[in-house]
Amino acid sequence: MALHQKLGRVALCVWLVGVLATEVRATDVVVSTPDTTAEMSAAATEISRTDFRVESDPGIEIFVREVIPQSVSAGVPILLIHGGGPGGLASFDLEVPDYSLAADFAKAGHRVYVMNVRGWEASTRPAGLDEPADNNPPLVTSGEAVRDIDAVVDWIRDRTSQPVALVGWATGGHWAGMYTSQNNEAVSHLVMLNSLYGVNAPWALSERFQDPDNPGRVNPEGGAYRLVDYDGFLRGWDNSIPVDDKTQWREPAVADAYAHTAVALDPTNTTRTPPSARIPTAYREESFNLAQGDQYWHAADIYTPTLAIRGELDFWSRPDDLLALETELINAPAIEIVTIPDATHYVFNDRPERGRRQFIQAVLTFLSDNPCDR
């Protein structure tokens, strides 16, 4: 593991010290009671799950799951932000024993929140998702995602009276960084996993996303969304594992739950054969631009402790992204740059010895070593 730490200026971490809020605001809609799913591990009985909807833009409701330990400790609240593939639950709260990232962080003493940006899982879906994909341009921009994150962070702060640690995966890390650059006072820690940053460097997916008639420009024919079936959700994971026997890197039950959940949480999945989920596509266009050096936000605007992690086998982010972040995070009071050997894009759902354990420990240690107590 490559690890570098740098101390800088004091972060803008402003929060009220007091008793954790327990009331649900009148505008919150509780949509489920604490989890009793039989398939969860016995250890999951130590935590509870409650689902909510939080208003973002007018007419847009964002799904949020709260995963909390029975005895809440002083750990900062954590918000998990999915990327451009499956939504939050399929990514971070699988019903497989010992493979819910949300539960792992909760059992370590944190209030954990899993959200879905508009267009994913149970959050409001833009109307264009119900039309043929070619009828509309790519849906759900970074600006819209940041507004959804802003609404959820405000809601969490109302509940906890604390700033929030953001853990974003892939495009979710880009969204988290963009949000933090505009709202440092609301964020205790920023964690970016396998995320692109705006630096012009070779990218494995450039040729796939670019316009064949205009190299260096994104293909304009992508449409508003793409359809991904069970096999499609596993394809990138399969290709990331450098051996034929994929079980050396992951539990078969985890792969099955991941792909099955990602498809099943689209309410229209059974209207297509094979069943599939609609995934908004603006993140692909913006990721192409990031890989060409376009910066949607600047790391110098981050005044929050920041941890950037990359799996060595990741196909999405590049070593250049870590180097650029390390160079440009000049105002972050603490910086850690971590590369996990042999870890894939899906590291938190890989086997513990393939990077999952190291990823979880890196995040928990970073939160512990950089307390937000000022």
Q: For position 373, what pLDDT does the model report?
A: 57
Amino acid at residue number 239: N
How do the pLDDT tens digits run along the chain, 374 residues long?
333 333 332 333 333 223 223 222 223 333 333 333 333 333 444 899 999 999 999 999 999 999 999 876 778 999 999 999 999 999 999 999 999 999 999 999 999 999 999 999 999 999 999 999 999 999 999 999 999 999 999 999 999 999 999 999 999 999 999 999 999 999 999 999 999 999 999 999 998 998 888 888 888 778 999 999 999 999 999 999 999 999 999 999 999 999 999 999 999 999 999 999 999 999 999 999 999 999 999 999 999 999 999 999 999 999 999 999 999 999 999 999 999 999 999 999 999 999 999 999 999 999 999 987 54
Taking phi first (over 0 means left), then psi (-120 to 50 degrees means alpha), and beta for anything else, what does residue 119 get? Answer: left
Q: For position 287, what pLDDT does the model report?
A: 97
Query: How far apart are the C-alpha atoms of 308 and 193, rounded to whole Å?
Result: 6
Tens digit of each residue's pLDDT (9 = 90 or more) over 283-317: 999 999 999 999 999 999 999 999 999 999 999 99
Rounded alpha-carbon distances, angstroms, from residue 233 to 118, 247, 269, 347, 356: 19, 16, 14, 15, 19
Q: For position 41, what pLDDT does the model report?
A: 38
Helices (H), the chain: 88-92, 101-107, 142-160, 171-182, 206-209, 230-240, 252-264, 282-291, 319-328, 356-369
Residue 219, judged by CB atoms within 10 A of its CB (0-12, 13-18, 19+), counts as middle
Longest dimension (CA), the chain: 60
Domains in the chain and their CATH numbers?
2-224+281-369 (3.40.50.1820)
Candidates 96, 95, 49, 97; CA nearest to 69 is: 49
Question: Which residues, 6+ apart, have CB-to-CB distance to 129 below 8 Å?
Answer: 119, 139, 224, 225, 278, 280
Residue 354, judged by CB atoms within 10 A of its CB (0-12, 13-18, 19+), counts as buried
Residue 157 main-chain phi, psi, to 5 deg: -65, -35
